[in-house]
Chains A and B, each alone.
Chain A
């Protein structure tokens, strides 16, 4: 039976993992390769790395990091951050990434999804969506780190991305991000009703129960950052807990 996945997310700034970009004052956390190996050993199912410094000259540092990670870990990993062309895809895939996540640049130019899927296959194209509740009982798509409302409906955009060839959706709830009050379950339920590709839920994890809830709501994977970095929720313990609650997990 296909297991539900637990995915730690690592924000990388000039070769170092830092505490999430939405927190005040970025704080240095760890070396990405060391942290990646720790997660791989503890039973994380996949890893996600975001390059949070978008400038092009620092991109090469990130590519070196990606290369080093691929030498050292034996589980799949996704990379993202400022990816805007098929050429960016190629560079990151050749450095060893398994999947590439696109966000703002795909909103700006949706064809990027189709181009990448046609050349590299849908399996490596992840559409990452920052969604925020609106007063019309739905969610808007935000870009630029949650600062700009695009006016696009998040559910419609996810469906369109799937049609264009995205192989997976990573949905980040801006409302819940950093609050640790649980994932946006309504958003996950709604998406799982309309999508036929896997869904990674992100934003809001604070307790083990939150993962149980989000898997029961239809998510295929649960993603979180600081609760794993600081070992507030140990991955091994989380998997035991989920297993005891009848969620199929790899242990």
Chain B
């Protein structure tokens, strides 16, 4: 079973559908007893960083997620769920993130169109089993106005939007994507499938 962390941050159904399509059971919940039975976790996020991180902390989920990560179990952040893993965000103020990855989350600069919305290419920074079968230049779907300035060693793939934009990061048992794998057609499906295989050892 795959646990999708529900902290009232937008619609999580599409992530759950995508997990189901790959043959895995998914549970959307904020119940840590239930989440602790999961083989792997997904941390989604839609909306503003500040309200997401505040809802996350208020839900009391942080100690659970901290322990989960320290125990070496797998978690995948998506979109704002990725940004929350960084140290700090400047979206409508200044907010402290969870700090699992070094770096800040900043707004795209003019004259770029904001949000960065649509299909953009993955430019692979370093090989990783998450990218099994994925080729340099494959397209995935982004929709975001802020992006993470990450340590190059953490970055698995960038995308190009005026500058090198962090598209996938990963370290040991923590993975995250800025784009939406659940909305990224076959490439997204493949990345999600790879994550679930890595995280569960292929057990469904």
Chain A residues in contact with chain B, CB under 8 A?
1-3, 5, 40, 45, 70-71, 74-76, 93-94, 96, 98, 120-124, 167-168, 196-198, 220-221, 250
Contact = CB atoms under 8 A, between A and B. Distances in A.
Given A121-B47, A123-B144, A40 B115 contact: no
Contacts of B10: 93, 120-121
Given A5-B118, A121-B46, A167-B115, 17 more contacts: A1-B120, A1-B160, A2-B116, A2-B118, A2-B161, A40-B185, A70-B14, A74-B21, A74-B184, A96-B13, A121-B48, A123-B117, A124-B46, A197-B114, A198-B118, A250-B119, A250-B139
B115 A70 contact: no
Interface in B113-131: 113-121
B189 interface: yes
Interface in B82-126: 110-111, 113-121
A74 B145 contact: no
A74 B113 contact: no
The DSSP consensus for interface residues of chain A is loop
B92 to A, nearest CB: 10
Contacts of A45: 118-119
Contacts of B182: 74
B91 to A, nearest CB: 10
Contact of B188 (A1, A74, A96, A197): A74
A74 B48 contact: no
A123 B139 contact: no
Contacts of A98: 14, 143, 183
B36 interface: no
23 contacts: A1-B160, A2-B116, A2-B119, A2-B120, A3-B139, A5-B119, A45-B118, A70-B13, A76-B180, A93-B11, A96-B14, A98-B183, A120-B10, A121-B46, A122-B145, A123-B117, A167-B115, A196-B111, A196-B113, A197-B115, A198-B118, A220-B118, A221-B118
A40 B139 CA distance: 14
A74 B186 contact: yes
B18 interface: yes
B183 A75 contact: yes
B184 to A, nearest CB: 7
Given A2-B161, A96-B13, A96-B14, A74 B114 contact: no
A2 B139 CA distance: 9
Contacts of A220: 113, 117-118
Contacts of A124: 46
A119 B117 CA distance: 19
Contacts of B120: 1-3
Nearest to B121: A1
B17 interface: yes
Contacts of B158: none
B47 to A, nearest CB: 5
